[in-house]
Amino acid sequence: MISDPHATCVPDPAVEKQPLNGIAGGEDQGDEAKMAETEARIALPSRADFDSTDLSPTDHEAPGMNLNLEPLTDFGFEAIPIAAKTQRVQDVFHRVAGKYDLMNDMMSLGIHRLWKRDMVAHLPPRPNYHLVDVAGGTGDVARAAVRQMQDAGCSGRVTVCDLNASMLDVGRSHSNPPGLRWVCGNAENLPIPSGCADYYTVAFGLRNMTHRGQALKDALRVLKPGGLFLCLEFSHVRPALLSHLYHVYSFELIPRLGSLLAGDSAAYAYLVESIQRFPNQQALALEIEAAGFSRVGFKNYLAGVAALHWGWKTTF
């Protein structure tokens, strides 16, 4: 469970363990007619299947292979060669860097700043702390964390790491507190020593990583024993009515607003699609556990429009 700087022990929501979806076994019918009837009921996947929140991590990580036997991954709803994804994502963020905060305002209905503030409020104060903020190019999480620690009487340092140089340029252009270090690097192989960080944060960045599992393992690597991992990400909305309304808003309005305000509807369409392809809350919690984290949990914001996941490094 997450340590709260204002309480000795705060119970956290348990991670709901669910079996991976599969086909239930049955008795051998021994009847060709029944087998033909069963096969006739098997349908090709529809758009609704791609929008499902019950996909397993494997479904998201490995869409398949093309005719040239190249392994594929998702880029929104498009299946592309794994080797091409990083550059495609970088192209998107080079184009939207100057409007990134505006993008998050549109996609979160303007309250992503409150979620980020709540995220850093979960960081337990430590003297001489080291925070690694990944995919944090604009620096808003880093600045909020420094303020949070200063209010608690703690000083330390923050490493902001982002693969996109344009995003880092936006972050550097702000009025930043002392102690911020800006690093251009890949989250799957961070240019940061092992076991050096007290905290690892990533806000709205994990879904854009090509090899999410490797990025989670590298997060574990850079943390000290007792270190805390926090991930804020857009997620899957429940109940169904709210999910439908948010779906309409996301697919019908956000790309149009992106075209109007930023002149780039395609980039905003990708960002919306990437949320739909991202694992649901329970599936992501299982991925974080699989990477080696302990005491994993999550909580929802706005019925699941976004979710905060956490995990602790308890190994040496």
Most trustworthy range by pLDDT among 6-10, 118-122, 266-270:
118-122
- Answer with the residue of higher pLDDT: 56 or 277: 277
Model pLDDT, residue 215: 97
First-to-last alpha carbon distance for the chain, in angstroms, is 19
Model pLDDT, residue 97: 73
* Residue 100 dihedral angles phi and psi, to the nearest 5°: -65, -45
CB 306 within 8 A of CB 119: no
Which of the four pLDDT bands, split at 50, 70 and 90, describes residue 6?
Answer: very low
| Per-residue pLDDT reduced to its tens digit, 216-247 | 999 999 999 999 999 999 999 988 878 888 78
Q: Which residue has the tokens 């309480």?
A: 7
| Per-residue pLDDT reduced to its tens digit, 62-111 | 455 555 566 877 666 677 788 777 878 777 777 777 777 777 677 677 78
CB 307 within 8 A of CB 238: no
CA dihedral 290, 292, 104, 101 (to 10 degrees): -150
Q: Averaged over 16-35, what is the pLDDT?
A: 38
- Give residue limits of the domains in the chain: 92-312
- Answer with the residue of higher pLDDT: 43 or 217: 217
Q: What percent of the chain has pLDDT over 90?
A: 42
Sheet strands (E) in the chain: 64-65, 71-75, 78-81, 129-134, 156-162, 180-184, 197-203, 223-234, 294-301, 306-312
Helices 281-290 + 212-222 axis angle, to 10: 50
92-312, which class in CATH? alpha beta
Two structure tokens written together for 113? 């700043």
Arithmetic mean of pLDDT over the chain: 78
| Per-residue pLDDT reduced to its tens digit, 124-148 | 999 999 999 999 988 999 999 999 9
Which of the four pLDDT bands, split at 50, 70 and 90, describes residue 23?
Answer: very low
Model pLDDT, residue 253: 78
Q: Which residue has the tokens 């192989």?
A: 189
CB hemisphere CA count around 257 (13 angstroms): 16
* Residue 68 dihedral angles phi and psi, to the nearest 5°: -90, 10
| Whole-prediction pTM | 0.73
Residue 293 has pLDDT above 70, yes or no: yes
Q: Averaged over 21-46, what is the pLDDT?
A: 38
Model pLDDT, residue 178: 87
| Per-residue pLDDT reduced to its tens digit, 184-198 | 999 999 999 999 999
CB 63 within 8 A of CB 79: yes
Closest alpha carbon to 131 in 297, 93, 281, 122: 122
